[in-house]
């Protein structure tokens, strides 16, 4: 987003950038997902490199259950990084779910395969992490959650297909706080109904405080 602002300063139109990325079907097939499955599933990246950027584990379970209840026809794909930390967190999460996801990728996908899975999802759901940028690059609808942090606004995706919800900053050492699960479900519903990019929607954009990332 900083680069886009630089372009505006030198005279380019102040419109959200558009990316046109072609990913070969073979990369999706490698994840055991057919092109016919496009739009039939949510892709969720539940973890980040920092626990403080994630939803609390109990809320994550509640969010997944809410998605499955609200859209019983939509499947769920979970993925995480190939680190011991995230794989252990994935194992713990799966044990708490009453309904198993359709697909789980605990670090098995390469970058192109992951991009293909995200691109063909109905919406990508994540915190402040790398898959957010993959989803933006592939034009995938996004619901993201951020903890308040100086400078984090520059990473917020811009467009009607995107919804970003900011939490509170009550505890700088805890997971993201102050986000209602109902707001996340509402955001998912909103991005599923939109296709034309305009300005982004941001819930509870706070006054940023320094002191943590």
Number of domain units in the chain = 1
| Residue numbers of the domain that contains 100 | 24-203
In a domain, 168, yes or no: yes
Q: Considering only 4-8, 72-76, 181-185, which range has the smallest mean pLDDT?
A: 4-8
Q: What is the pLDDT of residues 133-179, one digit of tens each?
A: 999 999 999 999 998 877 667 777 878 899 999 998 778 888 999 99
In a domain, 4, yes or no: no
In a domain, 211, yes or no: no
> Model's pTM, two decimal places?
0.83
Q: How far apart are CA 38 and CA 42, in angstroms?
A: 10
Element (H, E) at 22: none
User: What is the domain-level CATH number for residue 44?
Assistant: 3.40.50.2000
In a domain, 210, yes or no: no
Q: Give the closest residue to 52 by CA, choosing from 201, 136, 168.
A: 168
Find residue 144's DSSP bridge partners: 126, 164
In a domain, 140, yes or no: yes
Are 176 and 56 contacting, i.e. CB atoms less than 8 angstroms apart? yes
Q: How far apart are CA 89 and CA 174, in angstroms?
A: 16
In a domain, 7, yes or no: no
Are 99 and 115 contacting, i.e. CB atoms less than 8 angstroms apart? no
Q: How far apart are CA 122 and CA 36, in angstroms?
A: 12
- Residue 200's SS3 state is coil
């Amino acid at each position: 987003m900083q680069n886009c602002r630089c372009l505006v300063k030198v005279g380019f139109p102040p419109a959200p950038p558009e990316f046109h990325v072609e990913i070969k079907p073979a990369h999706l097939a490698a994840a055991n997902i057919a092109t016919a499955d496009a739009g039939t599933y949510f892709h969720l990246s539940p973890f980040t490199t920092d626990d403080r950027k994630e939803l609390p584990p109990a809320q994550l379970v509640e969010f997944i259950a809410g998605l499955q209840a609200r859209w019983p026809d939509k499947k769920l794909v979970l993925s995480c990084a190939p680190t011991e930390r995230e794989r252990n967190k994935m194992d713990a999460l799966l044990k708490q779910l009453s309904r198993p996801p359709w697909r789980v990728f605990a670090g098995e996908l390469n970058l192109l395969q992951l991009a293909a899975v995200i691109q063909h999802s109905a919406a990508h759901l994540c915190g402040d992490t790398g898959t957010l940028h993959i989803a933006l690059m592939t034009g995938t609808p996004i619901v993201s959650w951020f903890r308040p942090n100086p400078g984090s606004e520059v990473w917020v995706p811009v467009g009607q297909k995107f919804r970003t919800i900011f939490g509170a900053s009550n505890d700088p050492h805890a997971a993201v706080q102050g986000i209602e699960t109902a707001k996340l479900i509402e955001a998912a519903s909103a991005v599923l109904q939109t296709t034309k990019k305009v300005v982004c929607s941001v819930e509870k954009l706070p006054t940023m405080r320094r002191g943590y990332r």
